Structure 1
Amino acid sequence: MDMTEIKRALEETFGAVKDAQNKSADEIRAELKALADKIQGQDVSLIDLGQKLAGLSENGRRETRADSIGEYFVKSDAFKGIQGGNSNSARARVTLEGDQLKAVAPIYESIDPNQFPVPSQYIPTIRGPGVNTIWVRDMLPQGQTSSNMIEYPQEKAAQLNADYQIEGQLKAQSDLSFEMKQAPIVTLAHWILASRQVLDDVPQLQSYINTRMIYGLRMKEDAEILAGDGAAGHINGLIRQASAYVPTDALYNTADNVRMMMAQIQAQFYQPSMVVLNPLDWAALQLTKSVNGEYLFGSPLAPVSPRLWNIDAAATYAMPQGNALVGDGRQAMVWDRQALTVEVSREDSDNFRRNMVTILVEERLGLSVFAQGAFAYGPISKAVTPPVTAKKSS
């Protein structure tokens, strides 16, 4: 008896085989036992066969495994006939129709057909990247303005000639000169397009986008406050407005040069309150050791926060490696015309028709430096020249 005859016998007993999927294991077993007397002399266990047809394992549970087309073919009587030499034909053909097609697993590239389709695992949490924790802006005073330009006097030169007065002679004269400086209020902004449906369905995503956009703007803001080029519509950064520092000793290391920059500022009667370094220069300082191999700036087990000569240091990649800025932060100010804001709008281009939204992050600010001598900028470490390897004579 082939599979078609068995299937027909089963259908005559309890209806179409596909209906067995809705029956319990006990119901199927009971009906198969009633069918046993009807089919005699077959070398097959009807209980096992019925369970397989109904998608049940021996323990009565549903099985989701389906044969691939290849597996179905090699199990067919037509193939077995050729394999055993019992067929006069050199070909074996198997036709799959109706429910038989549904029972065969699909073929999908190199994926195991018995494992397809497999639902993907969804990770709902969005993990943000690392972020900067020290900002140059936070080391300076903050102010508010309602104008688009800050004008202020900056001391240009000072001659302080206080002295004794001899009776009958003129008293000593000093002189101070100023020049007017301008700090334009500039706009920093960027935007991104996002799907309205995605933002509605995943509120966490909108929060993440807003946070990342704000962070991106702060990175640009910090870079401009430190190293803005002063072009039209740009911030004139601290580096461009600082007095130049030139090392006086070739043997000075980073810490030595930072201390000498502090001394240069103190000579102008300002008090250094901030140091800005490149993170790689700070790392080089942390690796400094004594002749006995002991770390001088903390240790791997007890690291110290960025601080030199009792003043705070900010480590940022906006500072060119091998250079530093030292200054009296009280002699500069960041002016806010428009605080950092986040706006979401559908009224941008064809957003309404495309179900998109534009997320805009923007701010307006300016920077004033009241005394050029209050800041010093220059090299803090000499360049390392790779050793030259002598060529071996042949």
Structure 2
Amino acid sequence: MSKMKAIPRGIQQVRAEGNSNEIKGLIEGLNKAVADFKAYHQAELKQLRGTIDDHAMALAGQQMNGGGARAVQTLGVAALKQAKDNSSFAAMQTWEQGNCRLNVQMSVKAAALTNQNGQPAGGGPNIPSVPEYGGIRAPVLLAPRLLQILPSREVQKDAVQFIQLNATGDAAEQIHEGDEKAEIELGGALKVANIATIAGHTTASRQVLDDGEDEGLQQKIDNTLTTKTLLRLDDQLINGPGGQGRIHGLLPQATAFAPVIGETPADMIGEMIVTMVNEGYGTNLILMNPMDWFKLQLTRVNETDDEYVFGSPTAPLAASLWSTRIVPVPSLAAGNVLGLDTAHVTVLDRMRASVLLSNSHKDYFTRNLVLILAELRAGLEVADAKAVRKLALPAPGP
């Protein structure tokens, strides 16, 4: 057997140094690639953060009262977008006598959205106008609350028929062969959810048309529709008496709940929530009058100190009882509480908001006045009456 010749030590050293240099170069190359990769993404991240900050500052500035264009799409903004290509609106701007209808492509629910300041979307304390006329002072108005939290869907009819389901009986064991098995009866009643037309109008001077895309006309529309008209709908979703052309509200058709265990308002509400959950309902919303909720917030740990159960006046806890969200609603009369499983409650959006402008109303043409009429149509569907419970709080003592 032939022996392999030994590689001279000098050649071994050269090869070892070559391999070492290759590995070292490879490592250096990889390190440089990683460093370049990090630098590139750090620059991208810095630019992205700057863009986010710019947008956040712009959004904050836009949502300040009286500050330029709004980040949120208000009804006034949507109406003016329709006005751009509307020949009737252009004619009215030159003060030709006539009417102009602007159909707003926005759902009732979207119209009820508010800005971060809690004001109606697009609302502000002062409405700028042309310098010669000064501003128009807007009234202090509430923002609709219920429309923002209830599910909604669009419908095409003036009266919507639906089945309000109910079930009786429970499953049980068959003890002996031949015994009749337990019957579970699923039934329902045919119900009709009427669609209500809710409208309101206001009068403005001719210069709001001259403002065109400025805030004068936009704010007039928002103050008429986003506040007054939507607030009326908000109220009727709770208190509507039902019948032809009227909404059947949550309070009139709710199932009454009589507490057995609870004695205090918080305990009574908790018992109602547990009862609904035990019956299979996902109780996820409690509606209360704001003053009733405030009375609960005044509850102290004991009578000897000023420690509050619901946080402190400077740091109150979130509006919640028994892990269920509390929504204070001014249109709900004091002393009443509503518990809802919103999976069974739907706002019916029949007609998206429309705005009618007219200088032909009465003697408006000769007086340089414009009528602004806002209109919407909506209803309420409660698919299960037991998914809405009402509780009467005890009257305060003497």
**What SS does structure 2 have at the residue aligned with 1:352?**
coil
Matches within 5 A, 1:85-104: none
Structure 2 CA distance, aligned partners of 1:193 and 1:125? 15
Q: Which residue of 2 aligns with 1:135?
A: 145
Q: How far is 1:347 from its partner?
A: 3.9
Q: Does 1:273 align with 2:298?
A: no
Among 350, 354, 357, the alignment partner of 1:337 is 350
Q: Does 1:218 align with 2:230?
A: yes
Deviates more, 1:311-320 or 1:221-230: 311-320
Q: How far is 1:164 from its partner?
A: 2.8
**What SS does structure 1 have at the residue aligned with 2:252?**
helix
Q: How far is 1:213 from its partner?
A: 0.9
Distance 1:286 1:127, change over 3 A: farther
Q: How far is 1:287 from its partner?
A: 1.2
Structure 1 CA distance, aligned partners of 2:296 and 2:196? 36
Q: Which residue of 1 aligns with 2:297?
A: 286
Structure 2 CA distance, aligned partners of 1:221 and 1:167? 58
Q: Does 1:193 align with 2:206?
A: no
Matches within 5 A, 1:37-56: none
Matches within 5 A, 1:343-358: 343-358=356-371
**What SS does structure 1 have at the residue aligned with 2:164?**
strand
- The one-character-per-residue Cα deviations of 1:282-307 (angstroms, maximum 9, x if unpaired) are 11111111114311112122122322
**What SS does structure 2 have at the residue aligned with 1:351?**
coil
**What SS does structure 1 have at the residue aligned with 2:365?**
helix
Q: How far is 1:200 from its partner?
A: 2.5
Among 316, 321, 342, the alignment partner of 1:303 is 316
- The one-character-per-residue Cα deviations of 1:131-171 (angstroms, maximum 9, x if unpaired) are 43561122221111111111111124422234336333433
Q: Which residue of 1 aligns with 2:336?
A: 323
- The one-character-per-residue Cα deviations of 1:85-108 (angstroms, maximum 9, x if unpaired) are xxxxxxxxxxxxxxxxxxxxxxxx
**What SS does structure 2 have at the residue aligned with 1:221?**
helix
Among 147, 168, 191, the alignment partner of 1:158 is 168
Distance 1:124 1:305, change over 3 A: farther
Distance 1:383 1:300, change over 3 A: closer
Q: TM-score, normalised by structure 1?
A: 0.62
Structure 1 CA distance, aligned partners of 2:245 and 2:143? 28
**What SS does structure 2 have at the residue aligned with 1:223?**
helix
Total equivalences in the alignment: 264
Matches within 5 A, 1:189-268: 189-197=199-207, 199-200=209-210, 203-214=214-225, 215-248=227-260, 252-268=263-279
Structure 1 CA distance, aligned partners of 2:380 and 2:256? 19
Q: How far is 1:264 from its partner?
A: 2.8
Q: How far is 1:331 from its partner?
A: 0.8
Deviates more, 1:365-374 or 1:125-134: 125-134
Q: Which residue of 1 aligns with 2:184?
A: 174
Report if the CA contact (8 A) 1:266-1:272 is conserved: yes
Q: How far is 1:339 from its partner?
A: 1.7
Can you give the 5+ residue segments of structure 2 that lack an aligned partner in the other structure? 1-130
Q: Which residue of 1 aligns with 2:373?
A: 360
Structure 2 CA distance, aligned partners of 1:123 and 1:356? 14
Report if the CA contact (8 A) 1:148-1:337 is conserved: yes
- The one-character-per-residue Cα deviations of 1:166-186 (angstroms, maximum 9, x if unpaired) are 333433322122110000111
**What SS does structure 1 have at the residue aligned with 2:207?**
helix
Percent identity over the alignment is: 31
Q: How far is 1:271 from its partner?
A: 1.1
Report if the CA contact (8 A) 1:273-1:312 is conserved: yes
Q: How far is 1:375 from its partner?
A: 1.2
Q: Which residue of 2 aligns with 1:6?
A: none
Q: How far is 1:348 from its partner?
A: 3.4
Letter in structure 2 aligned against 1:176: L
Structure 1 CA distance, aligned partners of 2:325 and 2:364? 47
Structure 2 CA distance, aligned partners of 1:346 and 1:123? 19
Q: Does 1:144 align with 2:154?
A: yes
Q: How far is 1:334 from its partner?
A: 0.6
Letter in structure 1 aligned against 2:266: A
Distance 1:360 1:153, change over 3 A: same
RCO higher in structure (CA 8 A, sep ≥6): 2
Distance 1:266 1:314, change over 3 A: same
Letter in structure 1 aligned against 2:250: L
Report if the CA contact (8 A) 1:247-1:379 is conserved: no
- The one-character-per-residue Cα deviations of 1:215-260 (angstroms, maximum 9, x if unpaired) are 01111111100111113211000111111022335x7222112112
Can you give the 5+ residue segments of structure 1 that lack an aligned partner in the other structure? 1-120, 386-394
Distance 1:140 1:162, change over 3 A: farther
Structure 1 CA distance, aligned partners of 2:187 and 2:386? 14
Structure 1 CA distance, aligned partners of 2:195 and 2:380? 8
